[in-house]
Amino acid sequence: MTALIYDDIFLKHDTGYGHPENSERLENTIKYLKESGLWEKLQVMKPRAASMEEIGLVHPQTYIKAVKQIADTGGGWLDGDTVVSSESYNAAIYAAGAPLTAIDLIMKDGGKNAFCLIRPPGHHATPTRGMGFCLFNNAAIAAKYVQLKYRMERILIIDWDVHHGNGTQDAFYNDPTVLYFSMHRFPFYPGSGRKEEDGHDKGKGFNINIPLSADIMPKKYIELFTDVMEHRVSQFIPEFIIISAGFDTYKKDHIGGLNLNIEDFGVLTEIVMKSTERYSNGRIVSCLEGGYNLSDLPLCIEAHLKALLQV
């Protein structure tokens, strides 16, 4: 069964009026999933909070404490896009804890896969800096956690958000045990993600960037995605797969857009599922990143979930 990890605390991360990354993203999704009947087919679970030590697998304690202090003193801004409200720190530690909850469920209780319906998102958060709506890097923390707790040697992080996950790249740029694979619009925010950025030192070759022009069509996108999964991922043989699931590659997204249709998110998920059957015994934890079309985001997530459920 597919687990869905969610808590109402994520709604309390208050980004203010007009901010694209707002609580309606989750509220609309939950409403739609319940009305469609899909909610009942999922194992809905509340996350635990990540500890400071677990967040510290990626972020230094000085940064973690700085975010907490901003929240404790009423809130502020990490950059021009990234809001910390009085409840944002609590939301962020539960957002970081959601994939850890999912990992434990899969590894201890024999769960199959999980989707974390969370905010704030994470893939732009570098070890020392929050940016791009992100406070802590949820996917990166999850990768470190599954390595440390379950002695997994090879973790794959797939990032199909329209924006390059600069924070995740930074966290593992020298690390041959985590393969980071990002397909993203380029040139675009945050400016990183060139093909030549393929890792450093021991991590050389373990960072895969596929920069894409804004006019790429879905068929070509899926061909490129499939090629990486079949040829480069197959050489890495991942033991666990984490997806930074951004739905702002959707053609009607208000911030990004890469012409993908709703059903394409199901196709991408199915491609990943085939890889997990061969390499990682079906182990997938997916974390919500971007996706800002409030009416259609629930449909994109539904396509992703149906593929995870194999329905």
Instruction: Quick: pLDDT tens for 158-213.
Output: 999 999 999 999 999 999 999 999 999 999 999 999 999 999 999 999 999 999 99
- How far is residue 289's CA from residue 120's CA, in Å, rounded to a whole number? 8
pTM of the model: 0.98
Intervals of the chain under pLDDT 50:
none
- Give residues with Cβ within 8 angstroms of 272, minimum separation 6: 158, 229, 241, 243, 284
pLDDT in the model for residue 309 = 97
47, two tokens: 């996350």
Can you name the CATH fold of 2-309?
Arginase; Chain A (3.40.800)
Domain chopping of the chain, boundaries: 2-309
Tell me the CA distances in angstroms from 256 to 155, 164, 190, 267, 306, one per residue in order.
27, 11, 12, 20, 24
- How far is residue 138's CA from residue 100's CA, in Å, rounded to a whole number? 9
Q: What are 127-152's pLDDT values in tens digits?
A: 999 999 999 999 999 999 999 999 99
Phi, psi of 209 (to 5 degrees): -110, 130
Question: How many C-beta atoms surround the C-beta of residue 67 within 10 A?
Answer: 22
pLDDT in the model for residue 44 = 98
Which residues have a catalytic role annotated? 124
pLDDT in the model for residue 277 = 86
Runs of H (alpha helix) within 77-191: 88-109, 138-150, 166-172
Residues in the chain: 311
